[in-house]
Amino acid sequence: MLVHQILKSKGDGTVFTVRPGTLVSDAAQVLAERRIGGLVVSKDGKSVDGILSERDIVRSLALRGAVCLSEAVDDMMTRNPSCCSRNDTADDVLQRMTDGRFRHMPVTENAELVGIVTIGDVVKARLEELAMERNALEGMIMGH
């Protein structure tokens, strides 16, 4: 399974972004309203300047308190996040996410943001792929 197949199954392909300088509290509001776990930080909606996750916010709150909510996302985001391409395999993306201990990966093409995949997206796709393989094998065994 390839990343472009995962993106296609997700639907409209909207990637929510915030600009550098956005307050963390405003970014948290977007995360809550959209019921998502991460935002790409982008100055133009096309570049990937960083990524901000719920985990980043929670960690900062635990370490520094509510003062972090009045700071810019630039101070908290992960700079130069690991990205993938549409032609990367689900297994490769899953391995990179697991090894790096992160859950969101921007998808880029020619250094331009074209989507985002989460570890949940990749696991779901992989489970569907395994189910299809199992059904095919069962069909072969049963003589269908």
Where are the domains positioned within the chain? 3-142
CATH of the domain spanning 3-142: 3.10.580.10
**Listed residue (76, 103, 106, 70) closest to 88, CA to CA:** 106
6 with 88: CB under 8 angstroms?
A: no
Give CA–CA dist 71/24, Å, rounded: 6
Residue corresponding to tokens 């969101």: 104
- Predicted structure pTM score: 0.88
Task: Map residue 52 onto helix, strand or coil.
Answer: strand
User: In residues, how long is the chain?
Assistant: 144
Local confidence pLDDT in tens for the 144 residues of the chain? 899 999 998 877 789 999 999 999 999 999 999 999 999 999 999 999 999 999 999 999 999 999 999 999 999 999 999 999 999 999 999 999 999 999 999 999 999 999 999 999 999 988 988 888 888 888 888 886
